[in-house]
Amino acid sequence: MSELGAILQPLIDWLQNNQLDPWTYVGVFYAYCVAAAVILPLPVEIFLFGDPAVSIYVKAVVMGLGKGTGALIVFFIGFKIEQVLLKYAHWGWFMWMLDKSEVVVRRWGYPAMFAIMCIPFFPDTVTLYVFSILNKEGKLMKWHGFVITNVLAGIVRAFIVYFLFRDFFEPATTA
């Protein structure tokens, strides 16, 4: 077993032993949604099919709140990163990409972010940082609108994924 595997094994064992405890499931799901928004470029949708004791409505709200919390963190991190990105201004293609992205943020703002954040299995991390960085220190989008947009998009995304894929993950019932 690798060193990373040895480090993660207690967490994996704990999750396996508590996977059917609804409170543990909801807490881990929320924490994972926050982490996925801030640092993990991984989709969270697979959690929607985890604990069958937790309704899709609760899962959708937890996913939305987790994404909203992560969005709030990223919103303020974006101010700091904006200055770091200016170091790469001499790369023509990089500035071209930032300029085009800024047009999207400036022109469509919250609706554009909402639409992108509703796309199933699309990594939130990159989108949130792009919108945050190009926000021009909160002049284009305010923190509360940024968070509310992400909460609502997380809830909508949960329902989109659930209704598209539920037949693959839930056992068929016999009449």
Predicted confidence (pLDDT) per residue in 13-33, tens digit: 665 666 667 888 888 889 989
- Write out the two tokens for 163: 């209704």
Is 14 within a domain? yes
Is 33 within a domain? yes
Is 77 within a domain? yes
Q: Is the pLDDT of residue 4 over 60?
A: no
Is 36 within a domain? yes
Is 175 within a domain? no
Q: Which residue has the tokens 């989008």?
A: 141
Is 27 within a domain? yes
Q: Residue 173: which region, alpha, beta or left (left: phi > 0; alpha: psi -120 to 50)? A: beta
Q: What does the pLDDT look like over 40-49, one tens digit per residue?
A: 777 788 788 8
Q: Rounded distance, CA 43 to CA 33, Å?
A: 9
Q: Rounded distance, CA 141 to CA 139, Å?
A: 6
- Per-residue model confidence (pLDDT) at position 175: 47
Query: What's the number of domains the chain is made of?
Result: 1
Contact between 127 and 113 (Cβ < 8 Å): yes
- Mean pLDDT taken over the chain: 79
Percent of the chain clearing pLDDT 90 (strictly above): 23
What range defines the domain where residue 152 resides?
3-169
Contact between 43 and 122 (Cβ < 8 Å): yes
What does the radius of gyration of the chain's CA atoms come to, in whole angstroms?
18
Q: For the whole prediction, is pTM greater than 0.85? A: no
Is 38 within a domain? yes
Is 174 within a domain? no
